[in-house]
A and B are shown apart, each in its own frame.
Chain A
């Protein structure tokens, strides 16, 4: 039941990061780059939760992003699930090194993975949609 104890903090963190992202968009959209605060918060929680928590967080956050994104529906869900699995693999890889450097490296890997997986998932879904599957 440990994962359930994280539900409120996760929801609060993601809500706050979404609020900050939208606030920044209202403040300076079109003029400066707006950091993806929501994505950063999700990746941060990926480093803490268990596998089941990561999968539900990745899928849930992906679902919310899909509803407000221009990508085909399912892009961020698929990407979130894959990044959750990757986070689990990295956790097992670095489990013997409980240092900030290891966590920072894992965070960076996951951040880069998102920007590689999202376009790939988008193209895959567009292709699937085009062939009418």
Chain B
């Protein structure tokens, strides 16, 4: 016969976790979630930092040298395809803080608390939340103005960033430099499916795709992916293609959130 205490423990567990799920938006539940993030953040930071340190050590280069080389490589590729009306960039992170755009948007810097990869999904947890003016759907970029993803969940003091290439993610984009409004859909594994490509727009490997906010195709020059090829066949009068994410979410320590005012 099962003891009374074990029956009580079972019932208490089911009630507790059931209540937590049903009332997940309540303040106590939000408090517990924030506490869990704070608890896991230092462990994650220590572990992932150790992993990155070892990775750089195995490559025979210092972390700073490898990071610099990757930044130079990405910058050179992006500069080759940049548009004439792209504004000049602030390289230092502190000059980007509080930057007010003419369109009414502002940029908020954030520290990456945790990076997690689960199957084909990747997420970041950052240390800005609702109290900092962050909303769901706000794009998140790295210091090189490369798209990392969008805010998928916001709590009071932290937010989750879903990487742009996660399955189910989609955004409007423009081909660079040839132009052409397209749709980029995440496939997971840092890959995008490019859809709704007009038949008269050539798709070349090495070109880039630029993220655009819906309805604003002149928007910021935020590069999201690099085209790797065209899919065979057409779909409904449009071409389809493939691209890969150009940013490195796993290496991000500081990111920028483009918030709405």
Q: Is B114 an interface residue (CB 8 A)?
A: yes
B123–A23 touching, CB < 8 Å: no
- Nearest CB of B to A65, in Å: 8
Q: How many contacting A-B pairs (Cβ < 8 A)? A: 124
A51–B6 touching, CB < 8 Å: yes
B116–A18 touching, CB < 8 Å: no
Q: Is A113 an interface residue (CB 8 A)?
A: no
Residues from chain B with Cβ under 8 Å of A104 in the complex: none
Interface size on B, residues (CB 8 A): 45
Residues from chain A with Cβ under 8 Å of B153 in the complex: 73
Residues from chain A with Cβ under 8 Å of B6 in the complex: 3, 50-52
* A interface majority secondary structure: helix
Contact of B13 among A18, A25, A52, A66 (CB under 8 A): A52
Q: Is A28 an interface residue (CB 8 A)?
A: yes
Residue ranges of B at the interface with A (Cβ–Cβ < 8 Å): 6, 9-10, 13-14, 16-17, 20-21, 24, 32-33, 36-37, 40, 43-44, 46-55, 114-118, 121-123, 125, 152-153, 160, 162, 166, 190, 248-250
The proximity string for A residues 85-115 relative to B, scoring 1 for CB distances below 8 Å and 0 otherwise, is 0000000000000000000000000000000
A27–B37 touching, CB < 8 Å: no
- Nearest CB of A to B7, in Å: 8
Residue ranges of A at the interface with B (Cβ–Cβ < 8 Å): 3, 15, 18-30, 34, 36, 50-52, 55-56, 59, 62-64, 66-70, 73-74, 77-78, 81
B152–A15 touching, CB < 8 Å: no
A63 to B54: give the CA distance in the assembly, Å.
30
- Nearest CB of A to B60, in Å: 15
Contact of A27 among B20, B21, B51, B166 (CB under 8 A): B51
A69–B123 touching, CB < 8 Å: yes
Residues from chain B with Cβ under 8 Å of A24 in the complex: 51
- Given contacts A51-B10, A81-B17, is CB(A18)–CB(B117) below 8 Å? no
